[in-house]
Amino acid sequence: MTSPAEPFAVVHTVAGRVRLRLPRGVDGVRLARAAGGIDGVLAARANAGARSLVVTFDPEHTDVERLRHALRSLAATAEAGGCRGADPSLMAVAGSLAATVGVHVVPPGLRLPVALSTTAPLLGHALEDWRANGLTSHGLEGLAVAISLARADYAAATTTAFMLTLGEHLEESVARRADEMLAGLLRPTDATVWVLRDGVEVAVPSDAVVVGDGVVVAAGAVVPVDGTVLSGEAMVNEAVMTGESVSVAKARGDGVLSGTLIEEGRLVVYAEHVGRETASARIADYVEQCLGAKSEAQLEAARLADRLVPLVLKLAGGAFLVSGDWRRAASVLQADYACSLKLATPVAFKSAMYTAGRSAILVKGAQALERLASADTFVFDKTGTLTTGRLEVTEAVTFDSRYGPEDLINLAASVEEHYFHPLAMAVVAAARASAHYRHFDHREVEFIVAHGVASVIEGRRIVVGSRHFVAEDEGIDVAAHAEVIDRLYGEGKTLLFIGFGGELIGILALRDALREAAAATIARLRANGVKRVLMLTGDHRERAADLAAALGLDGFHAELMPHDKAAIVERLAAEGARIAFVGDGINDAPALAGAHVGIAMHRGADIARLTADIALLEDDLERIADAKEIADEAMRRISRNYRTTVWLNSAILGAAAFGFLSPVTTAILHNGTTIGILLASLRQRLRRRPGSSAVAATKAPTAAAPRP
What amino acid positions are annotated as catalytic residues?
Answer: 381
- Which residues make Cβ contacts (< 8 Å) with residue 530, sequence separation at least 6? 375, 376, 377, 378, 628
Rounded distance between C-alpha atoms, residue 478 and residue 595, angstroms: 45
- Beta-bridge partners for 47: 52
- DSSP conformational letter for 253: T
Residue 615 and residue 588 in contact, taking contact as beta carbons nearer than 8 Å:
no
Length of the chain: 708
How crowded is the C-beta side of 604, counted as CA atoms within 13 Å?
A: 32
Residue 704 and residue 366 in contact, taking contact as beta carbons nearer than 8 Å:
no
Residue 288 CA from chain centroid, whole number: 10
Spell out the long-range contacts of 528-532 with Cβ–Cβ below 8 A and sequence spacing 24 or more.
Answer: 528/625, 528/628, 528/629, 528/632, 529/376, 529/632, 530/375, 530/376, 530/377, 530/378, 530/628, 531/376, 531/377, 532/376, 532/377, 532/378, 532/577
- Which residues make Cβ contacts (< 8 Å) with residue 127, sequence separation at least 6? 142
Its sign, for the CA torsion 97, 99, 102, 108, is: negative
Angle, CA 196 vertex, CA 192 and CA 202 arms, to 5°: 45
For residue 122, what is the enclosing H or E element? helix 108-133
Residue 164 and residue 671 in contact, taking contact as beta carbons nearer than 8 Å:
yes
Do β-strands 226-237 and 261-273 pair in parallel, antiparallel, or remain unpaired? antiparallel
Q: What is the DSSP annotation of 565-585?
A: HHHHHHHHHHTT--EEEEE-S
Spatial CA neighbour of 29 closest among 125, 165, 159: 125
Q: What is the DSSP annotation of 148-187?
A: HHHTT-HHHHHHHHHHHHHHHHHHHHHHHHHHHHHHTTSP
Rounded distance between C-alpha atoms, residue 540 and residue 589, angstroms: 22
The gap between the terminal CA atoms of the chain, to the nearest Å, is: 40
- Beta-bridge partners for 557: 536
Residue 262 CB neighbours (<10 A): 26
Residue 128 CB neighbours (<10 A): 17
* Residue 219 DSSP SS3: coil
Q: In what order do the strands lie in the sheet with 377-381?
A: 361-363, 614-616, 597-600, 579-583, 377-381, 532-536, 555-557
- DSSP conformational letter for 695: G
Q: What is the CA radius of gyration of the chain?
A: 33
User: What is the crossing angle of helices 622-657 and 326-334, to 10°?
Assistant: 180
What single letter denotes the amino acid at residue 42? L
Spatial CA neighbour of 549 closest among 694, 312, 386: 386
Do β-strands 452-457 and 460-465 pair in parallel, antiparallel, or remain unpaired? antiparallel
